[in-house]
């Protein structure tokens, strides 16, 4: 029986709020970085580690998450996990050392690890197949609004409270959203496909042993890792130390990046859909977008500061191109493996994002800090250049693997 609009809103709104919160918590340290550094004496390497702890716990739970969502449903799993995120935000707000911050941040990453995948699972249950691209697009836009909230609004909140107060408020909001997911989202019994845990694990093995997966995954992983690592932390310090912007201006630029990201999700998805009607595959659109993203990063490395605002807008738009391959890969495998394909890709993306966010900080730390408590611009150049080379290598691998793939198909 078709779901009513009222029921669909009961499903969409709580899950959209959860993903909005997830993204806010992911990127909020870009605004709070100066406060963390001054209050607790956190250096760039430690700042990268504690912020990236979100990514490693998020990634570590992706594989079991797919199985749990299939067995127990998205409503119960997300509501339960969000309690851990609330505890993590509270611990972060009270921490007096880097280790306390890392523990809090790690719990936050674990707690929000289901916010996107649980929503996708719920939408498959409650929405018609033809509606899924649109509702998934709205879900991604909700994440963009979370990134937007983490910029100028958080900066404004710092005029009323400090970073500890911000995280205490976020802990309370997280509990409220957990309650909304559990009590507002309706429950629907679905038929199990009969797969045992062993069968589901075997399905995951088949994904990771597929050449189709490994042809597309590296370019997606490196593009998304760079986007998440830089946008989620190092964009703010770069604007301070390289572009020389004041704090209020930085918050405004970060707000613009978030708006550009929302626009990018809609724009890149619309372009991919439109071009697919003309016979151009979505993966071609994705790789073109990721190549444009590489060019933008190259200009940032060259410190074209007179174009800083424009470059960061383009960064926000083209950084979203790495989302398209999720749909491409899920359609390249049997339907019963589509969820595991996405969680497998998500695992690699967030492990890489953790490594990138920490690694960038470690490279920046090789240069002595500036007199005002900032970091040396050459450190940013070296760190961003490392990410750029990894992305270029992944694009070259995609081209080579595609040539081999097409040659094999002609032979067959």
Give yes or no for a contact between 221 and 356, defined as CB atoms under 8 angstroms apart.
no
- Give the number of other Cβ atoms within 10 Å of residue 20's Cβ: 23
Q: How many angstroms separate the Cα of 212 from the Cα of each of 180, 195, 314?
A: 39, 24, 30
- Give the number of other Cβ atoms within 10 Å of residue 132's Cβ: 14
Q: Is the pTM of this model over 0.85?
A: no
> Residue 293 pLDDT more than 70?
yes
Residue 305: what pLDDT?
85
- For 27-36, 154-163, 329-338, which range has the lowest pLDDT when averaged over its residues? 329-338
- For 114-118, 206-210, 300-304, which range has the lowest pLDDT when averaged over its residues? 206-210
165-203 pLDDT tens trace = 999 999 999 999 999 999 999 887 655 555 666 766 777
Residue 15: what pLDDT?
96
354-399 pLDDT tens trace = 899 889 989 999 998 776 778 999 999 999 999 999 999 999 999 9
Residue 155: what pLDDT?
85
> Residue 232 pLDDT more than 90?
no
Domain boundaries, the chain: 5-186+197-411
- For 21-35, 101-115, 304-318, 335-349, which range has the lowest pLDDT when averaged over its residues? 335-349
Q: Give the C-alpha separation, 138 to 262, whole Å.
A: 9
> Residue 152 pLDDT more than 80?
no
Q: Give the C-alpha separation, 105 to 52, whole Å.
A: 8
Residue 125: what pLDDT?
80
Q: Give the C-alpha separation, 332 to 351, whole Å.
A: 23
Residue 131: what pLDDT?
62
Q: Give the C-alpha separation, 297 to 274, whole Å.
A: 27
Tokens 């749909």 identify what position?
A: 327
More confident of the two residues 48 and 24: 24
Residue 27: what pLDDT?
83
- What confidence category does residue 1 fall into, taking pLDDT thresholds of 50, 70 and 90? very low
Tokens 């750029």 identify what position?
A: 388
Residues of the chain above pLDDT 70, percent: 93
- What confidence category does residue 266 fall into, taking pLDDT thresholds of 50, 70 and 90? confident
In the predicted model, what is the mean pLDDT of residues 300-311? Answer: 92
> Residue 36 pLDDT more than 90?
no
Residue 219: what pLDDT?
95
Residue 393: what pLDDT?
97
- What confidence category does residue 225 fall into, taking pLDDT thresholds of 50, 70 and 90? very high
Fold entry, domain 5-186+197-411:
Growth Hormone; Chain: A; (1.20.1250)
């Amino acid at each position: 029986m078709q779901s009513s609009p009222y029921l669909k809103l009961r499903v969409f709104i709580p899950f959209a709020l959860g993903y909005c919160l997830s993204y806010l918590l992911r990127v909020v340290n870009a605004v709070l970085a100066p406060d963390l550094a001054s209050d607790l004496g956190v250096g760039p390497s430690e700042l990268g580690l504690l912020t990236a702890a979100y990514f490693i716990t998020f990634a570590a739970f992706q594989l079991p998450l797919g199985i749990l969502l299939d067995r127990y449903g998205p409503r119960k799993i997300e509501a339960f996990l969000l309690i851990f995120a609330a505890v993590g935000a509270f611990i972060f707000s009270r921490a007096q050392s880097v280790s306390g911050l890392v523990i809090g941040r790690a719990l936050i990453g674990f707690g929000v690890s289901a916010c996107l995948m649980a929503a996708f699972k719920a939408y498959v249950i409650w929405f018609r197949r033809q509606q899924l691209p649109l509702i998934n697009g709205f879900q991604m836009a909700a994440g963009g609004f979370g990134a937007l909230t983490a910029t100028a609004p958080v900066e404004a909140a710092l005029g009323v409270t400090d970073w500890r107060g911000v995280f205490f408020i976020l802990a309370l909001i997280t509990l409220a959203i957990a309650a909304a997911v559990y009590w507002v989202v309706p429950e629907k019994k679905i038929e199990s496909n009969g797969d045992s845990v062993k069968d589901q694990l075997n399905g995951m093995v088949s994904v990771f042993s597929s050449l189709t997966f490994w042809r597309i995954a590296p370019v997606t992983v490196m593009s998304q890792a760079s986007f998440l690592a830089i946008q989620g932390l190092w964009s703010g310090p770069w604007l301070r130390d390289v572009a020389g912007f004041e704090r209020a201006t930085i918050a405004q630029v970060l707000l613009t990046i978030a708006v550009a990201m929302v626009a990018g999700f809609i724009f890149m998805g619309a372009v991919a859909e439109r071009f697919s009607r003309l016979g151009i595959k979505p993966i071609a659109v994705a790789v073109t977008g990721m190549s444009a993203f590489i060019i933008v990063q190259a200009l940032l490395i060259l410190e074209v500061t007179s174009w800083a605002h424009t470059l960061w807008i383009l960064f926000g738009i083209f950084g979203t191109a790495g989302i398209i391959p999720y749909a491409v890969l899920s359609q390249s495998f049997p339907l019963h493996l589509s969820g595991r394909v996405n969680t497998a890709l998500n695992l690699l993306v967030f492990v890489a994002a953790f490594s990138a966010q920490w690694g960038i900080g470690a490279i920046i730390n090789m240069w002595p800090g500036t007199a005002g408590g900032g970091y040396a611009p050459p450190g940013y150049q070296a760190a961003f250049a490392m990410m750029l080379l990894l992305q270029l290598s992944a694009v070259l691998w995609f081209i080579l693997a595609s040539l081999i793939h097409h040659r094999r198909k002609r032979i067959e």
